[in-house]
Structure 1
Amino acid sequence: MHKSIEKIFNPPADGNCGFHVVEKGLSLSIPQKEKSWREVRPDLIEEIGRTHNYYNQILGEAVEMDKIRDNLMDTAITRIDNLLSKCDHGHILTNIHKGPFVIFHPDWKNFPPQPFLSNLCSSLEVSIIHPISLGHISGNHLIFIIFN
């Protein structure tokens, strides 16, 4: 797999690395969507509000979705609850992107890639969007991976 990697974007480890890599992926795959990493969090909150019932079915009870939304609204970077979570946010991110997100673990033989596919977009929308690939390293740090 390492031979297939063209480039890696390793954001600062400031508690917002997940939001940095999502912004990088969105701006490369959909150039007109270029935005600051600070805009990713409000986009997630807006997506949750727009399709709250859908995410309740996917992720569990409304209480869980409210907790995810509340953690996104709290911008303090010192709490682990406020970090981008692949499990909590993967489905939401793929629907904002309108294309697949894939999370890779450094021990990819024991932890296979974890894809998130959009259920809220047409297949035509998804077919023109490149996947966004994130690497999960050093416990809770995310990097952006560009493949050949």
Structure 2
Amino acid sequence: MSVQRGRVSQSRSVGVEKYIAEFPPFLTPFISNIYDVPGDGHCGFRVVASFLGMSNNGWRDVRTDLLAEIEQHPDEYNLVFYGLAHVQEVKRILNCQSSTVGKEHWMSMPDMGFVIASCYKIVVIHISKHQCLTFFPLRDPPPPVSAHRILSIGYVNGCHFVGLEFTTDSPLPPAARTWDRFRLDMASSWVTPYIERIDRFRALAGTDVAVADVIDLE
């Protein structure tokens, strides 16, 4: 899938000081930069668009792409989201093209992690005070490790998403359990290059951070 659609999305490096306290202390030494985006209700989708090199309005394309991803693989997401009701809720969140929106259309995690990873064939890392997870594509086999792309999304202030940049070989959160349960066999080796980094994360985190995709961040 080609994702270069016009001028690169505007994201702004704010260093690490502004939001660093919003992340688990054991991870902060590995965060090398934080990229902010407008807080207009589309911030999570803006982070994705910026990472993919989309235009300033790329959040619209991201919403459209993710909605199409779910609609093209209904049986898969019926399993991942444990039923049609949740599938419909995620689709409702995505189905919005208005410039400003209310909370009912904000990106939701961990739900969107699976959809983003599978749609764009990338690794998605979600980091917050409450929950840290890694999402891999559900269907596709991985490319060579050198071609892997890793999108790191931080959740801050209970209402905003930012882009994160980590140092090389930083610890990595465990894969979401739902991925291991419902991924196709051909996708199983996505996790292989990251096992050592995941083990380091577990050792550093202890029991201080949730690493299961079964809690609500709200």
Distance across 2 between alignment mates of 1:41 and 1:128: 24
Alignment-mate amino acid for residue 141 of structure 1: H
2:110 is matched with which residue?
Answer: 87
Matches within 5 A, 1:93-132: 93-105=116-128, 107=129, 111-124=130-143, 128-132=147-151
Q: Deviations over 1:13-72 (max 9, x none)?
A: 111110111112223xxxxxx342221100011101111110101111123212221232
Shift of 1:127: 6.2
Alignment-mate amino acid for residue 133 of structure 2: Q
Distance across 1 between alignment mates of 2:107 and 2:125: 14
Q: Kindly tell me: are residues 123 and 78 of structure 1, through their superposed partners in 2, closer, same or farther at Cα, counting changes over 3 Å?
A: closer
Q: Which of these two proteins has the greater Rg computed from alpha carbons?
A: 2
Distance across 1 between alignment mates of 2:75 and 2:145: 22
1:42 is matched with which residue?
Answer: 64
Picking from 68, 75, 78, the partner of 2:90 is 68
Q: Select the structure that is richer in helix.
A: 1
Moved more, 59-68 or 86-95: 59-68
For 1:123, what is the secondary structure of its paired residue?
coil
Normalising by structure 2, what TM-score?
A: 0.58
* 2:81 maps to 1:59: yes
1:30 is matched with which residue?
Answer: none
Shift of 1:79: 2.7
Aligned Cα RMSD in Å?
A: 1.9
Moved more, 50-59 or 62-71: 62-71
Equivalent residue pairs, number: 138
Q: Kindly tell me: are residues 125 and 39 of structure 1, through their superposed partners in 2, closer, same or farther at Cα, counting changes over 3 Å?
A: farther
**Percentage of identical aligned residues:** 25
Normalising by structure 1, what TM-score?
A: 0.82
Alignment-mate amino acid for residue 21 of structure 1: V
Q: Kindly tell me: are residues 112 and 72 of structure 1, through their superposed partners in 2, closer, same or farther at Cα, counting changes over 3 Å?
A: closer
Q: Deviations over 1:76-117 (max 9, x none)?
A: 544312111112211101111212111111x3xxx4521112
Distance across 2 between alignment mates of 1:131 and 1:64: 26
For 1:86, what is the secondary structure of its paired residue?
coil
Unaligned runs of 5+ in 2: 1-26, 168-218
Return the structure number with greater relative CO, CA threshold 8 A, min gap 6: 1
